[in-house]
Amino acid sequence: MKILVSPSVLNADFGKLAEECVSLEKSGADWIHCDVMDGEFVPNLSFGLPVVEAIDKAVTIPLDVHLMIRHPLRYVSRFAAVGADWITFHLESDDDVASTCRAIKDCGCKVGISLKPATDVEQLLPYASLFDMILIMSVEPGFGGQKFIANSTEKIAKARRLYPDKLIQVDGGINAENAQTVVNSGADVLVVGSALLHCADRKAMISTLKALKRK
């Protein structure tokens, strides 16, 4: 399995967001990671449907939409309609997990389920047949620029053992220094935000991340 890089645009320059996303695609990004926040499930607001639609029009690579919202089921079909290819919601949200997974599938999108740092990956076992990807948060969700929580690597490794046929995505505090450790633990998809957006050579960093091999 080759490593995929999904840049998070949460800390991008929103005044030129389309250009930022085009730049990331040209630099080799596999997906674009869109963090949608409602101010309730997490203590922050980000962007919604019109912004995701604008990003979809700007790039040709898949959109990886992460719903950090209390009621994802209400919005699944609408995010699918504006261009989401992957829709990831939180196990800890208020809506029925199985129903949300099925709704995402019915819209033609791939299903991801995200876990906050304190949530054990074993809680996904009842839904193992319903999702395609696990998103492990290696920071508390809601804000970009946080430091990677060190014991996240143990959680990633456990997820890899329990769900060998699922993609494992990791989001939070990933940079050039810790990415190899994250991959060694079992990650397939790296969500990289501040470290990539603020680096001098995005193309070189993405190339380095995509070249990582599990050791």
Look up residue 56 and give its DSSP letter.
H
- 152: annotated binding-site residue? no
Question: Is 201 annotated as a binding-site member?
Answer: no
Q: 66: annotated binding-site residue? A: yes
Q: Is 83 annotated as a binding residue?
A: no
Per-residue tokens: 71? 């009621």
Q: What is the sign, positive or negative, of the torsion defined by CA atoms of 194, 196, 197, 198?
A: positive
194 is in an annotated binding site: yes
Check the annotation: does 198 bind a ligand.
Answer: no
3-state helix, strand, coil in the chain (%, to 5): 35, 20, 40
State yes or no: 79 annotated in a binding site: no
The answer to whether 145 is a known ligand-binding residue is yes
Total count of residues recorded for the chain: 215
**Catalytic sites, residue numbers:** 35, 171
* CB 47, CB 20: distance < 8 Å: no
22 burial type by CB count under 10 A (0-12 exposed, 13-18 middle, 19+ buried): middle
Distance of CA 40 to the CA centre of its chain: 19
Tell me: is residue 142 an annotated ligand-binding position.
yes
For residue 127, which of 109, 111, 108 has the smallest C-alpha distance?
A: 111
Does 14 belong to an annotated binding site?
Answer: no
Q: Which of 38, 2, 22 is nearest to 141 (CA)?
A: 38
- In angstroms, rounded to a whole number, what is the distance separating the alpha carbons of residues 165 and 149? 25
Q: Is 33 annotated as a binding residue?
A: yes
Binding residues for substrate: 8, 66, 142-145, 171-173, 193-194
Binding residues: 8, 33, 35, 66, 142-145, 171-173, 193-194
Q: Could you list the residues known to form a binding site for a divalent metal cation, using ranges.
A: 33, 35, 66, 171
